[in-house]
Amino acid sequence: MRTNGAANIGEEVSTTATFFDDGENVVVHTNQVVLPEDEEFVQNYEKIIAETMQEFIKLVNLEISRATTAITPLVEITVPTSARQKFHRTIAFEDSNRPINNNVDGDRSTRMAILTRGKGNKTILKAIRMETPDGLAETWQAEREKERKEFDEHKHITLSMNERMMADDNCSD
């Protein structure tokens, strides 16, 4: 089918449609009047399409930027609490005169753990000694400080919520 014709608002348009079927040529002539409501509809439709395309382009750009950033693993391995405690403990008593030293023979190595999956999807923790990269101690200290701040913040929020609940209970009695 092929159609011809264009119109301005309120103008009558003659449209010709040609159908090709089994060697016959059928021509249909219709007169259409373009109403202001139709023109408004077309303008709104084009506006919606343009907005949708802009949103689509933004989403595509966002996905492209996500693809270039670091990819997070789909499956997280949870560190067992026993492993955390095992490598977090550095207790020294005031009576003790011997210094705590994790290094062997004075080299720049530290004890680390590798957490992997073994048979049956079971987590395996292996202790190893590695050379300490520059800035690792500072990074770990900053991470511990961040964890401590988050813990203190959650503690403060919980305590304030508890105080508010107690105050509400006292007011309602």
- Whether 33 shows a pLDDT value over 90: the answer reads no
- pTM of the full structure: 0.31
Beta strands in 22-172, from DSSP E residues, in sequence order: 24-33, 109-117, 123-131
According to DSSP, residue 108 is labeled S
pLDDT tens-place string over residues 88-146 = 555 555 665 555 554 445 566 777 777 777 788 777 777 788 777 777 778 888 999 99
According to DSSP, residue 134 is labeled T
pLDDT tens-place string over residues 36-77 = 888 888 899 999 999 999 998 888 888 777 766 666 666 666
- Whether 1 shows a pLDDT value over 50: the answer reads no
For the ranges 2-11, 12-21, 29-38, 138-147, which has the lowest average pLDDT? 2-11
- Whether 171 shows a pLDDT value over 50: the answer reads yes
Cα separation values, 69 from 56, 60, 66, 103, 151, Å? 20, 14, 5, 36, 29
Beta strands in 24-122, from DSSP E residues, in sequence order: 24-33, 109-117
